[in-house]
A and B are shown apart, each in its own frame.
Chain A
Amino acid sequence: MAINLTRREFLKDLGLMGVGVTLAPGSVTNASAFGEWDREKTSAPARPPWIKTVDKPTTEINWEQMKRYDERNTCRGGLVKYIGQEKLDAWTKASAAALDKYLKENKPGYTLKDVALQAASGVGSGPQSFLGPSDKEIETPEKRGVSKWKVTPEEAAQVVTAALRHLGAATVGFVELDPKTTEKLIYINDPDGKELVFSDVDQPAETDKQRIIPRKARWVIVYTVQMAREAMYRSPTILASQTTGLTYTRNRNIQYRIQTFLRTLGYMGLAAASTNALGIAPAFGVLAGLGEMSRYNRLLTPEYGPMVRVFPVVTDLPLAPTKPINAGIMEFCKACKICAEACPTKALSLADEPTWEVQGGWNNPGHKAFFENSVKCREYQRNVAGTNCGICFGVCPFASADKALVHQIAYSLIATVPAANGIVKAMHDLTYGPVDVNGNPMRSPEAWWKMDLQDYGIDTTQGRKDA
């Protein structure tokens, strides 16, 4: 085939081809062709434009009605209050019997290698305490002969975010404590029964009965730590359960390190003395814009879906609060119901709208939510699964990795066109298939052992601009 071109036409086409070849890869990948150019300009971590910041969270809160909650009323430590000692003993026995039976049957996800991994995931963490490292362990600015670190709250927020990310956190936000509102999210009693007291003192303290938070510590750092998605897809098994344990273990290190970081800067870092202590972490997460409340009544993040655990740290370092978000998540949950349908014990709400009416003492009144029946959830975990469940985490459409562009298309639709939520849900069901309602793992536990996964099973580049 002969093509007759003038020299002018040839050079023009060559130029066009050059532009095409240069821009085409950029147009089909997530990376901006101009990423390097704007890197220095942005201060706040970049989020997709469809995650809108708002003044009020998508969960309605009645601060007048809300009171400080006693952690011992949750089903985590207070199950005996709701079912009695006799039933609790029977359930504990059933759980041990189930695990023993599954181990001896070599049931996938419950084999000796799964049990060994669970044992390994629970060890090797730093000390966990309210006050953090002792004065002897810390080289404070005073000891170094310099004044404490002083910058604007905005700059402090940026530096703490960068430090926490480096130490292993996924997303980070900040909430200012107000006695009439946000302070009510600090537990009145920790799981060990110690009272959390706000007091006009200069330094925090811990006694046999109390943990004292100085009133000048008015800022809460709240952060998420990613869980291993592929392991959680194996819920409900020991293999899936261990990723929850590993996330808590990893957090103990992150928590101790951020406490050390804050203390070295000259500020206090008051954290959870044990698992689920100090405050209602998902509520702080919602107020800080890390995510929205969801049908499964936990924090659902736009970056990682439910595949996170949330942790708060109280400090006197002034930090610029981050705003709540509306990414259409709560609205989508109203139309979705996939987690509630997949729940083998029907512990999650199938209602069309969230409600102010709690299901029991394990729920904290004063906010409108899809309250769950926590006792039913625990009953299944103890009597059938033998361990933590997590099916509701795995089946959530937001739990997906971000490799396929279709997720971003769906999330942006969910955030901007709520009327399309039904269609998005239908497309999700068509594409990813129906969920199992019999409590079987979504994916083969044995196949997990043959996978070539990332460190800790998490993708630290997901949702990151500079990754």
Chain B
Amino acid sequence: MLWLILGVVIGAGAFWLFSWTRARKINVTWYEWSLALLAVVFALLAIQNFEGSLAEFETRAAWILLAMFGVPALALAAISAYLVRRRHQPKPVSQKA
């Protein structure tokens, strides 16, 4: 059930993000989408290994694996968002003397 819910959340989230960027006329490059996709993969690995390790009664492993896959997921998502944001920030008006 968890994976069905996650599937719906990811599908809906991807739809919203795609629509939102298009509505705002935000141009996202292929590598920015790739980084975001990789972030999702790492996040799923973090959740799967956390849940799986708890099912194996390996609490220590669960937390370590959550961090091991979760931190790169957050980092990749942040890099992707930062790259998009940097490109779309209004350029400062140059003050000519």
**A residues in contact (CB < 8 Å) with B:** 1-5, 13, 16-18, 20-25, 27-29, 230, 400-401, 403-406, 430-433, 443, 451
Contacts and interface: CB of A to CB of B under 8 A. Distances in A.
B15 A29 contact: no
B45 to A, nearest CB: 7
B24 to A, nearest CB: 9
A20 B65 contact: no
Interface of B: 3-4, 6-8, 10-12, 14-15, 18-20, 22-23, 44-45, 48-49, 51-53, 55-58, 60-61, 64-65, 68
24 contacts: A1-B20, A3-B22, A5-B19, A17-B12, A18-B11, A20-B10, A20-B15, A21-B8, A21-B10, A21-B11, A21-B12, A23-B7, A24-B8, A24-B10, A25-B3, A230-B57, A401-B56, A403-B56, A404-B48, A406-B49, A406-B61, A432-B60, A433-B60, A451-B57
B57 A443 contact: yes
Contacts of A403: 51-53, 55-56
Given A21-B8, A29-B3, 15 more contacts: A2-B23, A3-B22, A16-B14, A21-B12, A24-B3, A24-B6, A25-B7, A28-B6, A400-B56, A403-B51, A403-B53, A403-B56, A405-B45, A431-B60, A431-B68
B23 A28 contact: no
A433 B45 CA distance: 21
B10 A1 contact: no
The winner among A22, A400, A405, A451 for most chain B CB atoms within 10 A is: A405
Given A3-B23, A17-B11, A25-B4, A432 B44 contact: no
Contacts of B7: 20-25, 28
Nearest to A451: B57
B15 A432 contact: no
Contacts of A406: 49, 52-53, 61, 65
Given A2-B23, A432-B58, A404 B53 contact: yes
A29 to B, nearest CB: 5
B44 to A, nearest CB: 5
Interface of A: prevailing SS: helix
B60 A17 contact: no
A35 to B, nearest CB: 15
A195 B7 CA distance: 62
Contacts of B8: 21, 24
Contacts of A3: 19-20, 22-23
Contacts of A230: 57
A21 B15 CA distance: 10
B65 to A, nearest CB: 6
Contacts of B3: 24-25, 28-29
A289 to B, nearest CB: 26
Interface of B: prevailing SS: helix
Nearest to B62: A404
Among all A-B residue pairs, the 9 with the closest Cβ atoms? A404-B52, A24-B7, A21-B11, A20-B11, A403-B52, A25-B7, A403-B55, A17-B15, A3-B23
Nearest to B23: A3
The winner among A17, A29, A400, A433 for most chain B CB atoms within 10 A is: A17
Contacts of B58: 400, 404, 432
A27 B58 CA distance: 24
A128 B14 CA distance: 61
Nearest to A18: B11
Contacts of A17: 11-12, 14-15
Nearest to A400: B56
B79 to A, nearest CB: 22
Contacts of B56: 400-401, 403-404
A443 B60 CA distance: 13
A18 B12 CA distance: 9
A449 to B, nearest CB: 14
B44 A28 contact: yes
A252 to B, nearest CB: 30
A178 B51 CA distance: 48
A198 to B, nearest CB: 46
Contact of B61 (A22, A23, A432): A432
Contacts of B22: 3
The winner among A16, A24, A29, A432 for most chain B CB atoms within 10 A is: A24
B15 A431 contact: no
Contacts of B12: 17, 21
B84 to A, nearest CB: 17
Contacts of B23: 1-5
